[in-house]
Chains A and B, each alone.
Chain A
Amino acid sequence: MIQNQSQPEVTTKLGAEVEANPIVGAVAAAAEASADPFEMETSGAGLEIMARAPLPNGIPNRARMKIFSPKPGHTLVFFFKKSLVPYSRDRYSYGGLDLRASSVQPQEVAAWLDFLTSGFHPDKRPKDLRRAFPYEIPE
């Protein structure tokens, strides 16, 4: 489920992003239907989803996924962790996907969310993940 979906800023952000990109809608619906908790970040470009359940070793899950369109016909799905240092702008990439289609299969989205929930465990990497992902990623 998306824990903060009822917040007005989340509703507004989600509405705008879904209108701009149908893939965002598919991801949001899958996250909402999932038994695992997620949250959405409203600041910044694109839609950012965070896994919220702690990892099996008790450490907080820092995994995030950003979905955005750098140009028409491309949707980038970027997996990353934010810095733990409060003032740092650094992001730690775990790779990404460059989608050229306007829709995705449900099992693909499920794999992304699984990867997120696992805290980016190497065994859960999505099939087509590009670890070296040389795109400019907006904040």
Chain B
Amino acid sequence: MSTEGQIVDKDSAPMQAVPLSCGDLPFIHLNPCELEIDLFCKGMRIDPSCALECDARFISRTRAGLGSGLELVIPGSIKDVWVNVPVEEDFAQQSCYELVCDQAEYWVNDTRLSHRYAVRIPPEPGWYTRQTRRGTPMHKVGVLQGTYLGIYISNSCGFWYHSPAVNCKFCATGLNVGVNEMGSKDIDDVVEVVRAAKQESGATFVHFNSGYQTDRDLDEAAPYVKAVKSRVGTLVGLQLIPTLDFWKYDRLIDLGADHFSFCYEFHNPEYFARFLPGKQQLVGQGTFFRALEYTAKKLGKGSCSGEIIAGVEPLEDTLRAIDYITGIGAFPTVCIFRPTIGSDMEQWPSPRYEDMLVVFRHLYQACRRNNIPIDVTPNIEVSLIVQPGDTRYLAPRNLASSFYHAEMALARWLARPYFAWKMRPKKINASEVLVPPKGGAAPA
């Protein structure tokens, strides 16, 4: 296990491991990525000493429900790690981790070992409490999840309204709209919020997603992409139910889309069918694979991602998924399963830390082996997952890892002017109404 980490004496700078008392347990020194993984698995309690109403972003469960936790940052020598720590779920109430505030500084106590980790609590952006010109509370349009802006564009997910409901079993999307989130998003509201997030919070990336929209998913996203790219200028990613009408991806790229992610969740087809009945019946796992392969090839290595959930299907299936995703030049977005409140899987156990460590060590190796760019894009820190860049803390200390890290550092430096250009508002001539190419669409 790495000895680089964040256990600190309260009066010293980060990086020195100073256990207060280890009791009978062996001293375990977690580095920032290991701590991130363990916090995802175990959650955290909040001590009354914390003044989060003054110091933290308010918690808002939107989208699939992963963002229901408390955002915090674990400082580190390689990079700072952002994590949205589960605090609401029942398992978090029994966690060995506890957030405490001591002399205006925040710490995560490991109560098993009586030692603690220094953390930062990202403050609430000023724009969260403002309204758009139409009078919509800005935080109901989009929220920061780490350093990027997440916006759920459409009115919930069709899987929830199907009869009988065919919603994904881990998901809480259908439970949020109207309660914590606006039902539908006005384009001018979205532009205003993206502009505020870019100017005031330094956001470089907007991630639009939606639930199932009866194969109109990409069509409905198109006006938002065009508006943001032409009126604000940020990197734009889309996470939508896929289609085999690949020309729609071409049109969205014409409008400025920079990234596509595909949540196929489980690699094992039996788990896919069992836990994702809507995706199974109305979309099919193969559609996710074909769309990911098409867009990854079209946009280039490291531009697109396959999203999976670790901790439900057998471990070997998760490892196989990572190999598949990296093998086609995409990057793996691996969510540690969270039994979110109200979901059908609320009573499921949270995954074991030891298993997740295997997953993310494998993820690092797979990215390195396939030379997937990690952390090259400026200021995209995703708090809901363990990012590939975070797994550099899990890298073996050898020549191959050092070479890969040097290569990525160079890529980051070389890519700066490119991303600066990408993040300027641009005149876009393409229509936001997606129409097939003249002469008909090529077969998928």
Contact = CB atoms under 8 A, between A and B. Distances in A.
B175 A92 contact: yes
A81 B60 CA distance: 13
Contact of A85 (B70, B172, B342): B70
B53 A86 contact: yes
A66 B81 CA distance: 39
A93 interface: yes
Contacts of B90: 59
A135 B183 CA distance: 8
Contacts of A80: 179
Interface in B279-322: none
A85 B165 contact: no
B344 A122 contact: yes
B177 interface: yes
B178 A137 contact: yes
A46 to B, nearest CB: 14
B180 A90 contact: yes
Nearest to A135: B178
Interface string A95-135: 10000000000000000000000001010000000011111
Contacts of B61: 90, 92
A133 B178 contact: yes
A93 B87 CA distance: 17
Contacts of B175: 92-95, 131-133
B87 A85 contact: yes
B155 interface: yes
Determine chain B's interface SS by DSSP, over half rule.
loop
B42 to A, nearest CB: 16
A90 B68 contact: yes
Given A85-B46, A92-B342, A137-B179, A132 B88 contact: no
A122 B167 CA distance: 15
A83 interface: yes
Contact of B59 (A83, A94, A120, A133): A83
A135 B155 CA distance: 11
A131 B179 contact: no
Determine chain A's interface SS by DSSP, over half rule.
loop
Contacts of A59: 90, 93
B181 to A, nearest CB: 10
Given A89-B58, A92-B61, A134-B156, A84 B88 contact: yes
Nearest to B155: A134
B52 interface: yes
Nearest to A87: B53
Nearest to B173: A132
B176 interface: yes
A90 B31 CA distance: 31
Interface string A59-91: 100000000000000000000110111111111
Interface in B144-177: 155-156, 160-161, 165, 167, 172, 174-177
Contacts of B46: 84-85
Contact of A92 (B88, B156, B344): B88
Contacts of A93: 175-176, 179, 342
Contacts of A91: 179-180
A88 B180 CA distance: 11
Contact of A131 (B53, B70, B88, B160): B160
A132 B59 contact: no
B423 interface: no
B70 A132 contact: no
B342 A94 contact: yes
B273 interface: no
B357 interface: no
Contacts of B177: 132, 134
A19 interface: no
A85 B88 contact: yes
A48 to B, nearest CB: 14
Contacts of A85: 46, 52, 59, 70, 87-88
A90 B58 CA distance: 9
Contacts of A137: 178-179
A65 B172 CA distance: 19
Contact of A132 (B68, B93, B156): B156
Contacts of B88: 83-85, 90, 92
Interface string B330-353: 000000000001101000000000
Interface of A: 59, 80-81, 83-95, 120, 122, 131-137
Given A92-B68, A132-B177, A134-B155, 12 more contacts: A85-B88, A87-B53, A87-B56, A89-B58, A90-B60, A92-B61, A93-B179, A95-B175, A131-B160, A133-B178, A134-B178, A136-B178
14 contacts: A86-B52, A87-B52, A87-B58, A89-B60, A90-B58, A91-B180, A93-B175, A131-B165, A132-B161, A132-B165, A132-B177, A134-B155, A134-B156, A137-B179
Interface of B: 46, 52-53, 56, 58-61, 68, 70, 87-88, 90, 93, 155-156, 160-161, 165, 167, 172, 174-180, 183, 341-342, 344
The 10 A-B pairs of least Cβ separation, nearest first, read A87-B53, A132-B174, A132-B160, A93-B175, A92-B341, A88-B59, A134-B178, A93-B179, A135-B178, A134-B177
